Amino acid sequence: MFNILKSEHNLPCVCENFPDPLHARREIWVPHMRSLALKEDPHNVILVGHSSGAQAALRYAELYVVHGIILVSATYTDLGDSHERASHYYPQKNAEGGETNPYLFDEMKKNCKNWHQFHSDDDPFIPLKEAERIRDGLGLTTTYHMLPGRSHFFEFDDALLDAVLSLC
């Protein structure tokens, strides 16, 4: 998608390896994303986040104004994985039955008015109900896309490109 957006649509794009790729820690990724956004007009940025990148995009939107966000294979919880839990993106249950580190959906919606979310019914890593919790928290209806048979979106998908272009 990067090559198409850059060469065919002449859009400024960043697609690079992030620091801390194995752990994808929030305290490293979100500031790195901000440093990239500040190289352009930070209010005109469109974030496309896949898997851990989707979690980073959600947490970024809690703090900063962004033009649009496209979430791909986002999950609500750490799915019981201690490695994911250590990234500090996910809410955790507390002793009273509530959550610590909750998603601040109201802040996200205030800072970003344009959302698309993509998930597949056969994602081998993230159950559909996890994506639906993100959808419901953001209040998405027409821009939530459950596309059958796309697995974890390892392959290019025209629907994602169309979503990015719809925000330009």
Q: Angle CA(110)–CA(116)–CA(118) in degrees, nearest 5? A: 140
Could you give the CA distance from residue 59 to residue 99 in angstroms, rounded to a whole number? Answer: 16
Question: How many other CB atoms are there within 10 angstroms of residue 137's CB atom?
Answer: 17
DSSP reduced 3-state for 70: strand
In one-letter notation, the amino acid at residue 58 is: L
Of 59, 78, 74, 61, which Cα lies nearest the Cα of 118? 74
**Residues annotated as part of the active site:** 51, 123, 152
Q: Do residues 116 and 145 make contact, with C-beta atoms less than 8 angstroms apart?
A: yes
Could you give the CA distance from residue 134 to residue 126 in angstroms, rounded to a whole number? Answer: 12
